[in-house]
Amino acid sequence: MMLDNFVDSIQAYTELKEISIRSVFGGKGVLSNGVMFALIKGNKLYLRAPNSKFKDEFSQLGCTPYEFHWRSSSRNYPSLSSYYSIPEAVKHCDKQIAQLCEEVWSVGLEEKKRKETPTRIKDLPNMQYKTERMLRKAGIHSIDELREQGPVNAYKAVCGSHDKQPGINLLFYIAGALEGIHWSILPETLRETLSRQASSDYLTH
């Protein structure tokens, strides 16, 4: 019943959409558009602290983190989650709790986007740490620099900075990475165009 009432208040007092429930940490996680913002265990509600700022604020308000246990064949391992009990000041006000949930969700969404956004070349499709090192040796140190150079110039830079030529597939890896796709689904016409632009002097099969 508490879960139903909580979801009703979220829908009544916030703009959060696509509310869903997931079993997690021995309780019920409450999500909006795939981002979890609250946890219900029994008759207790916990709000997510999506970053260190929220953790500090919740701790200063006297909120306590939810403790869960990882089970192995031999023992339980207690662990503190990033979900905190409701601040006493808003404990009995459904509207304030719902609005705090919306704030928590908004920050959680930004954190999710930040984590999902590649920050290094190796995080792009087709790229690996080895590829990132090759590009760095060629003077390309960031995703922005890779985009600025484009696949052909980046490929040529690698070829010019290494004694052993990397092979034509590297050109396709880079092109796919910049498109956000696996290199194997690059259109054949595009591969041919890239190969011509890269010049046969650099192509080794």
> Using one digit for the tens of pLDDT, what is the confidence trace for 45-73?
999 999 989 999 999 999 999 987 655 44
Q: How far apart are CA 127 and CA 205, in angstroms?
A: 19
Mean pLDDT of 130-138: 95
The answer to whether the CB of 76 falls within 8 A of the CB of 69 is yes
Closest CA to 160 of 120, 121, 198: 198
> Using one digit for the tens of pLDDT, what is the confidence trace for 66-125?
987 655 445 555 667 899 999 998 988 999 999 999 999 999 999 888 878 888 999 999
Helix axes 2-13, 94-116, angle to 10 degrees: 80
